[in-house]
A and B are shown apart, each in its own frame.
Chain A
Amino acid sequence: MDDLLGDFVAETRETLEALSGEIVAWELAPDDRSRLDAIFRFVHTVKGSCGFLDLPRLEKLSHAAEDVLADCRGDRRRPDAALVSAVLGVIDRIAELTDAIETGAIIPAADDAILIAALQPQETAPADGPAEAAAAASAEDDILAGALAAIAEIGAIAIPDQDEADEPDDAGSEAASEPDIEIEPVAAVPAPAQVTVSAASKPASPAAAAPAPRAVARTIRLPVDLLDRMMAGVSDMVLARNELARRLRESGAESGTEVAFERLSHCIAEMRDSITRTRMARVENLFTALPRMVRDISAELGKQVQLEIDGGDVELDREMIEMIRDPLTHIVRNAIDHGIETPEARIAVNKPASGRLHVSARQVGNQILIEVIDDGKGIDADRLVAKAISVGILSQERAATLSWDRKLELIFEPGLSTAQAVTAISGRGVGMDVVRANVERIGGLVDIESRPGQGLRLTLRVPLTLTIIPALTISCGGQHFAIPRSAIDEIVRIGGDAVRMGELGGARIVFIRGTRLPVVSLGGVLGLGEQGEPTNLVVLKLSGGARYALAVEAVHDHEELVVKPAAPVVMACGIYGGTTLPDNSRPMLLLDVAGVAEKAGVGREEKAEAMAEDGPEDLQEAGAVPVLLFRDLDGIERGIPLALVERIEDCFSGSISNSAGRPRLNIDGRLVPLVSCGAPIIESKVRVLRMRDGPEELAYAIDSVIDIVPVTIELQRSLIPGPVAGVMLVEERPIEFLDAFWLFAQGLGSNTRPDKRPVCLLSDEDPWTRQVLAPLVEGAGYAVIFSEEESAAPADLVIMADGTDHPAELGAGAVLKLRQSMEERGGSADSLWRYDRLGLANELARHWNKRSA
């Protein structure tokens, strides 16, 4: 059964269950308008769904009932007893048919007509029906109220047993006989036993001829607060276990008890895990509404959009899904409204008439990444800056110091999100500040990446669950607090070599490896006073890239904490994100990093400014970039610009395989080329640097990370192409720098299909060409030939020594000339020095791109 049908069955059943009381009540008081409305809504919904799901029988039935009920609502017809019974007959039949959808049972269609006919006005209907019913109602009121309460109770408890309870129904003959019972005058009905029968679950129906075995439903619907109670129960168990563990340790229990306790611990951990998973739902729930929405919006705006959806099977906390729904809707709407151009405009800039919108979800570690990528016009950061200056939220001088990324982030500024700004600039400002605020509230981040003219990529990073977050516990003034780990950049000890405290105009600041950061004293913010001397600085990053250092008295532990929202009166302080109950069962408050910054008087914007002025600028003046220093597998200290490293990860050597001619690393089910300096990997665990170049990924195996230092890279270039680009002194030690170009060429070169590679003719047959130049050219993705006969196709690029003449017929491709000397003297104007790796690589890349374009 497909999902939609399953949902329909589940929903119909649920409504029927909820409605059963209404039906009975309506039976007693047919004039009751609110009951009538509830029943009308039900048949109306069923009718709507049936047309959509192609269930003609159900549709006919519900349509007939709807018509009659509409008449009643419009006062064209008085609901009399016969009509009530007839409607009930139809509703019962709907319930049977709904069950039949799931079991595949067949219910004869012939008597549908009888049911429908019964809905029509009948001359024989007793004129005193309603009055009689009303009289009966008052007389039987108390009995019925009791019966109804009992039913409600049964309904609630019976959920798990529903399969058994329903089992004997929907047999053919019984179904046929049922309407007869229902058409009886109402006055005969209100006996408690009968009430139970019409209450949809019908446990009393006899299992008549050939009861169809009903398929056991594999899914049930549960109220979320029941799950919450289960979760709370498990949390209680964890606390009890911890208490027990402590006592066992104290009493020095014998090993037998310990083994049993271990087993108990294990069971509890597993249970906690699976209950956490019951709260998960597929992201698909979030994505199903998109196609329709995209269709509607694009039709409205006269645009053509192709929607691609990926990764709907990724699972995410139910509540989280609800929290992301609005931001995602917003982003998609913006992408179509302001990103993707009209077909005419697209054709004018050589893009296909219909725009592409790609929405995908994937899990990375403890986070879910939801990406929305469009190929529209992107955001022009400079125009954004111009707008920001004109509305006065940014000064000219400061604008000049902002990097491209920082400029883009202006999109999240509240001042820029007015409707007026939207039309004036490229337009994504519609409530982007709200989008970010919403995502941040659930501990997520929004990344933005824009390529003007080519498109925009927005990434929402959200934690897997709302409830459990990794956190660092710290203390201040004798109290413990938690800080979400996602907000922590690093922790440094005051008094360490790299940390220098200072003061600037009365404000405390700190220099950490040359970067100036504002210092916020947690004790000061909380009003706890400086009871103890702060010993540590926790460097926190705010969204938007700004950072500040929080001075705390002690740093304790990393813990996974179950965080719950605190009471409104506590949240109103503005510096807490929730409460949590660690294992010592003493409540702890989770700090809201942004709130603390605000309270301390360093607003987000101000810090972004400070950051723009100090951090990158100090470095950039000297041309320094942060460089990651590490010890390679062969024990040599090497470095790589930090910007190239996406992340550092530990993985098991078991996930490394030698396949398709090179080592590959299995990361989250994808094979990523693994490059190393060549030394064998002996340890069972290996640390890798993950690098990314557009869609291409690779991993470089290392031994350990040493430090991150700002370095002005002035390499003594390596002469041999290899993993090492060159060497320079960093802090008095020679450090070899990795050649990212070579790494990617190594890692990915083999990914290009040989027949797609452009052909490069190396026309000189000397050892240098063969052994030095050829690998470099091959690494850049070319197929190398040494004479024209080797390839059927003409060479795309010819490389030859400057000064040698070349037959003109080779001119099919471009020619690149290499000269012997470094100086241009004596060589042709367009020739390159043959050791100019960079120039050479640029040329190779240029021709490669030309050819593949």
Chain B
Amino acid sequence: MNDLYLIVEIAGQRAALPAAFVESVVEIEEIAPVPCAPGHVFGLFALRSRVLTVIDTIAALGGDRSEPGEKQAVIVHVDGHLYGLLVDDVDDVIAIEGSPSQPRALLSAGWARYSRGVLEHEGQPLLLIDVAAMIAGPTDLAA
């Protein structure tokens, strides 16, 4: 297997997103908050005529809610809806061979939930993000 991944940094952790999900990377400024929504829903953002639901990845991982302001987001397409995943940094698109392996490490509860294994790239481990789980957020845990 030879798949493309987008390497990003979320909460200080380098991770990989399957490139098939990713549409683009945009700068997000002004968002419209969604009252009553779960904590990891950062708000809505208009990308041209489309509305993105912006996911606060740090809050999803159990951290504090991000402060409003200019942010970088990876636009992903899941089940017909567009989402923006907030990331600290976007690195590169790379091809990684092989399928993800077990992490063989005790991940934090958040990462255990949102990762689908570990990929090796140039000797460095990368967590493979489960995009759908990240969007669903920690609310499912309680349910």
Contacts and interface: CB of A to CB of B under 8 A. Distances in A.
Interface of A: 232-233, 235-236, 238-239, 477, 479, 525-528, 564, 566-570, 572-573, 575-576, 579-581, 585-589, 599
B32 A479 contact: yes
A479 B35 contact: yes
A671 B118 CA distance: 74
B137 A527 contact: no
B36 A587 contact: no
Given A567-B81, A567-B83, A567-B135, A581 B49 contact: yes
B41 A569 contact: yes
B11 to A, nearest CB: 20
B22 interface: no
Nearest to B31: A587
B30 interface: yes
Given A569-B41, A573-B37, A589-B44, A236 B49 contact: yes
Given A569-B41, A587-B45, 20 more contacts: A233-B49, A525-B36, A527-B35, A528-B35, A564-B51, A566-B44, A568-B79, A569-B139, A570-B34, A570-B37, A570-B44, A572-B38, A573-B34, A573-B36, A573-B37, A579-B44, A586-B30, A588-B32, A589-B44, A599-B36
Interface in B71-95: 79, 81, 83
B49 A235 contact: yes
Contacts of A580: 51
B32 A570 contact: no
Given A579-B51, A581-B49, A587 B38 contact: no
Contact of A569 (B33, B35, B37, B50): B37
Contacts of B79: 568
Contacts of A525: 36
A569 B44 contact: no
19 contacts: A239-B49, A477-B35, A525-B36, A526-B35, A566-B53, A567-B81, A568-B81, A569-B37, A569-B136, A570-B44, A573-B34, A579-B44, A581-B46, A581-B49, A587-B32, A588-B32, A589-B32, A589-B34, A599-B36
B48 interface: yes
Interface string B85-122: 00000000000000000000000000000000000000
Interface in B21-67: 30, 32-38, 41, 44-46, 48-51, 53
Interface residues of B, number: 24
Contacts of A526: 35-36
Contacts of A581: 46, 49-51
A67 B79 CA distance: 42
Contacts of A568: 79, 81
A235 B46 CA distance: 12
A471 to B, nearest CB: 15
A580 B38 CA distance: 20
A232 B34 contact: no
B83 A586 contact: no
A581 B51 CA distance: 7
A515 to B, nearest CB: 29
A599 B33 CA distance: 19
A477 B32 CA distance: 12
B53 A479 contact: no
Contacts of A599: 36
B72 to A, nearest CB: 19
Contacts of B35: 477, 479, 526-528
A568 B33 CA distance: 16
A495 B8 CA distance: 55
Among B38, B81, B139, the most chain A Cβ lie within 10 Å of the Cβ of: B81
Among A238, A477, A575, A587, the most chain B Cβ lie within 10 Å of the Cβ of: A587
Among B30, B35, B136, the most chain A Cβ lie within 10 Å of the Cβ of: B35
A580 B33 CA distance: 14
Nearest to A236: B49
Contacts of A567: 53, 81, 83, 135
A232 B50 CA distance: 8
Contact of B46 (A528, A569, A585): A585
B80 to A, nearest CB: 9
Contacts of A528: 35
A564 B48 CA distance: 14
Contacts of B41: 569-570
B45 to A, nearest CB: 7
A567 B49 CA distance: 16
A593 to B, nearest CB: 15
Among A233, A569, A573, the most chain B Cβ lie within 10 Å of the Cβ of: A569
Contacts of A527: 35-36
Among B33, B36, B38, B136, the most chain A Cβ lie within 10 Å of the Cβ of: B36
A227 to B, nearest CB: 15
A585 B30 CA distance: 11
Nearest to A566: B53
A527 B36 CA distance: 7
A587 B53 CA distance: 10
A434 to B, nearest CB: 24
Nearest to A528: B35
B36 A569 contact: no
A479 B79 CA distance: 28
A479 B33 CA distance: 8
B51 A587 contact: yes
A586 B46 contact: yes
B71 to A, nearest CB: 16
Nearest to B44: A587
A564 B49 CA distance: 11
Contacts of A589: 32, 34, 44
B27 to A, nearest CB: 15
A185 B46 CA distance: 59
Contacts of B34: 570, 573, 576, 589
A-B pairs with the 4 shortest C-beta distances? A526-B35, A587-B44, A235-B49, A567-B53
Nearest to B81: A567
A589 B33 CA distance: 9
A575 B37 CA distance: 10
Contacts of A566: 44, 51, 53
Contact of B48 (A239, A477, A573, A576): A239
Nearest to A477: B35
Given A575-B36, A587-B44, A569 B135 contact: yes
Contacts of A236: 48-49
A481 to B, nearest CB: 9
Interface string B111-143: 000000000000000000000000111010000
A572 B81 CA distance: 14
B84 to A, nearest CB: 11
A587 to B, nearest CB: 4
Nearest to B55: A569
A558 to B, nearest CB: 20
A228 to B, nearest CB: 10
Nearest to B48: A236
Contacts of A232: 49-50
A525 B137 CA distance: 23
B102 to A, nearest CB: 29
A491 B132 CA distance: 42
Among B38, B45, B49, B135, the most chain A Cβ lie within 10 Å of the Cβ of: B49
